[in-house]
Structure 1
């Protein structure tokens, strides 16, 4: 049996994976539009890598075609997905460079297509359970890989997804904090819920790159220069965790369910 490829999704600051062997770009047509992916191998296992914002960060977060991206991964045989989200800290104890393995989210977006099941397909309307949006087995892989790599990662965190592409106001950040959010981002939703609908096992690493608006002592505006500076020093930690996760997978038989849920015809 051919091993199912591992899906990797990333955004700001993660536009290629230097560890991929024989990387090849592909355009994958779906009913929701085309998705661009890179296929290759890492430690001998197949990988499908997708960068949300496209070449040169040309697609803003509110215009990412999340449905096409997730549908393409599923169509390519992906069963497990590890995502990377670059975030601002809402929890004042978090600092730039800190890492979290997310376990819940808040959806504060307003205008994105959020489901495959909009009533137009043969499935009709489907109500997806999201009591555990980030798959516990994939979360465990991330945490174990981080421990082996010697990279501290907080076990758990609530991701507040805002519409973007602007940064959040101080009032919005206060609201999210009152609701229990730890970090703020612009791309984690509906990606996580679409993965659930597609029957994929999905988990995400959050890399903190700045304090969100009004968090901490500084009133300085958030700038991309600030974010890019943290990415230059901290992205290696994320890549080391991914490398260890893939290396561990390569050591064992295919960990994915041999009979994954297939909600689509």
Structure 2
């Protein structure tokens, strides 16, 4: 049985997926513009990798072409999308290096295109339910992979999406916390919504790399040096979770193929 490619989307600190074999770079043209992807195989399974900010982090979060990215993944035959979001902690109990399997979001962005259904296409205006924006079955795969890899993910977390590229103010973080936010980031929305509109199953791992402004020691500014240091020591944990998820899928595919052949 040939499975559709698994899409992996990542951002800050994740500009390549070294585990991919038989890799090739490809530009996919969509109605919304081009998207650059890397195709390859991981544990024998087809994977499409997309880094949101481009090579060397050249695209800021508010200018990422989220519609082109998600449309390209759908056009390439992907059905499942696993995202990695680098975040700040709103919940003071979360520490740098912690991992969460997100289950909801707050959209605090202001100016980015948010939907495929802007009235310009043949489908007209469509209202999509996002009561469960992160797919339950794909979330369970991530949670199981984290446990098996020795890097457990917290089950549940609300992602508060801000416009960026600046970091948030203390007042904005207080507002997000009052609304139930656990982590803050700049790229999770509209990506998750667009995936839902495109009919893709979507789940996300949030890696905490710093306390948000006003959380913990409010006198300490957020610096990229601090974020890069946490990424350097935590990146392997995220990759180990992804590796376990892909390996489990590969094993399941092999077993299914053997049953079909029998």
Q: Same fold (TM over 0.5)?
A: yes
Q: What does 1:88-107 align with in structure 2 at a 5 Å threshold? A: 88-107=88-107
Distance 1:10 1:167 in 2: 19
- 2:108 aligns with 108
Q: Which has the higher helix share?
A: 2
Select between 29-38 and 209-218 the one with higher mean Cα deviation: 209-218
Q: Which residue of 2 aligns with 1:257?
A: none
Aligned to 2:79: 79
Unpaired runs of 5+ residues, structure 1, are 255-265
TM-score by length of 1: 0.95
What's the CA shift string for 1:106-155, capped at 9, x where partnerless? 00000011000011111110000000000001000000000101112100
CA distance in 1, matches of 2:247, 2:2: 18
Following the alignment from structure 1 to structure 2, what is the Cα–Cα distance between the partners of residues 243 and 60? 28
Aligned partner of 2:151 in structure 1 is 151
Q: What do residues 175-208 of structure 1 show as CA deviations (whole Å, max 9, x unaligned)?
A: 0000000000000000000000000000000000
Match runs of 1:1-265 below 5 Å:
2-253=2-253
| TM-superposed deviation, 1:217 | 2.3
* Structure 2: distance between partners of 1:20 and 1:124: 39
Between the aligned partners of 1:151 and 1:7, the Cα distance in structure 2 is 21
Alignment partner of 1:134: what SS?
Answer: coil
* Runs of 4+ more than 3 Å apart: none
Equivalence for 2:260: none
Shift of 1:3: 1.8
| Counterpart-to-counterpart distance in 1, 2:103 and 2:113 | 22
| Secondary structure, counterpart of 2:249 in structure 1 | helix
5+ residue gaps, structure 2, are 255-262
Structure 1 Cα separation of the partners of residues 113 and 185 of structure 2: 17
Q: CA deviation at 1:220?
A: 1.0
What SS is found at the alignment partner of 2:56?
helix
2:221 partner SS: coil
Give me the CA root mean square deviation: 0.9
Aligned to 1:262: none
1:159 is paired with a residue whose SS is strand
Q: Distance in 1 between matches of 2:155 and 2:204?
A: 11
Distance 2:66 2:161 in 1: 14
Residue 2 of structure 1 deviates from its aligned partner by 3.2
Q: After TM superposition, give the deviation of residue 218 of structure 1 in Å.
A: 4.1
| In structure 1, distance between residues paired with 2:198 and 2:181 | 26
> What are the Cα deviations for residues 142-169 of structure 1, in whole angstroms up to 9, with x where unaligned?
0000010111210000000000000000
**Which whole-Å CA distance do the structure 2 matches of 1:2 and 1:29 have between them?**
25
